[in-house]
Amino acid sequence: MTELAAAKAALKTQAVETPSWAYGNSGTRFKVFAQAGVPRTPQEKLDDAARVHEFTGVAPTVALHIPWDRVDDYAALARHAEERGVRLGTVNSNTFQDDDYRLGSICHPDAAVRRKAVDHLLECVDIMDTTGSRDLKLWFADGTNYPGQDDIRARQDRLAEGLSEVYERLGEGQRMLLEYKFFEPAFYTTDVPDWGTAYAHCLRLGPKAQVVVDTGHHAPGTNIEFIVAVLLREGRLGGFDFNSRFYADDDLMVGAADPFQLFRIMYEVVRGGGFTPDVAFMLDQCHNIEAKIPAIIRSVMNVQEATAKALLVDRSALAEAQRAGDVLGANAVLMDAYNTDVRPLLREVREEMGLDPDPLSAYRRSGWAERIAAERVGGQQAGWGA
């Protein structure tokens, strides 16, 4: 098989999970901006997600967020997804939008609050049992604002205890993905601030605990591809939350701020054997001022383009240049792949998959945006308050 044929074959197997919350209303800390046609129920979110998969062919699963997507019958929700041509994916917990969590959740000094947080995480595993979801994704807003506010080491002990209880509840084939964020909303200490802390807890828990890398949760200038390479080498990279940011956790469309960084990350994924179902590629974005479904389609396409470029790196030539100590030659091999216009290749891939070569144009012609704006009138739009 030629290099080009191999790249095309790999691209046809790619899967990017879209987040249910990206289809709802969102905004800044100060204002949520409503849009016409926004889903009012988890079922309508799945209807929109199905359109993304219909036109891209590589977005077959939808991540849930509990309680934002809570329903009475999760089996029925799973059937609704399957009838639309998608499946329910990762279950995301929420231990940051309750008054009880002002001083933390799983790390809170009050045992009753910790119990409430852990019970919620166990509820999420129950939902996974019903939906057939593999991954439980955990992000904690836990931390402190002032020196002396709480015992830093004791909070790590509480974190380990809570994670251990949830880990033991995981069933066969289920995983725990632990996310990190180096600041915000805690301004003095954050209980899971970096990949090292997440990795240390996962290592203690066992093989079902994996680290998830959010591309927006790093200090400026952080070499994210190094983190990816190390976690892949250790067999602990569970997945990505793809987004992009200029200053902090902006949740812009993936690849919007630094497409070269996304390419470098995807090269390490390809080089490190991470282009498999064991590494979950998920979007974690909010679309505040742009139309939501087109932004998600564009985001999926951005991931595809970065992946295609990474697959086209001449790894033999790169290895030869590296062995020879040819600094400029090695860099040129990477840059040649990055500077390749892969859009014609991806159009071919889509046509061979029976798809329109231009997903965005196909979506606009479908009339879905006009239909949902006309039909979704009344009721409570999905979103979060600010």
The encoded tokens of residue 153 equal 């080491």
Task: For residue 357, count other CB atoms closer than 10 A to its CB.
Answer: 16
Helix (H) or strand (E) holding 7: helix 3-13
Contacts of 135 (CB under 8 A, 6+ apart): 89, 90, 91, 174, 175, 176, 177, 238, 239, 280
Q: Could you give the domains of the chain?
A: 11-306 (3.20.20.150)
Q: Which residues pair with 333 in a beta bridge?
A: none
The encoded tokens of residue 64 equal 């849930």
CA 232 to CA 338: how far, in whole Å? 22
Secondary structure of 221-274 in the HEC alphabet?
CCCHHHHHHHHHHCCCEEEEEECECCCCCCCECCCCCCHHHHHHHHHHHHHCCC
Q: Shortest CA distance to 286 belongs to which of 351, 216, 379?
A: 216
Contact present, 109 and 153 (Cβ < 8 Å)? no
pLDDT tens for 94-111 read 999 999 999 999 999 999
Amino acid identity, position 20: S
Q: Shortest CA distance to 124 belongs to which of 63, 179, 81?
A: 63
Place of tokens 């939008």: 97
Task: Spell 320-348 as b/e; 16+ CB within 10 A means b.
Answer: ebeeeeeeeebeebbeebbeeebeebbee
Residue-averaged pLDDT of the chain: 96
pLDDT along the chain (386 residues), means of 10: 89 97 89 92 98 98 97 98 98 96 98 98 98 98 98 98 98 98 93 98 98 94 97 98 89 94 98 94 94 98 98 97 98 98 98 98 98 95 74
Q: Which residues pair with 25 in a beta bridge?
A: 383
The pLDDT value recorded for residue 386 is: 46
The encoded tokens of residue 309 equal 């470029």
Helix (H) and strand (E) counts for the chain?
Answer: 14, 12
For the full predicted model, state whether its pTM sits above 0.85. yes
pLDDT tens for 46-97 read 999 999 999 999 999 999 999 999 999 999 999 999 999 999 999 999 999 9
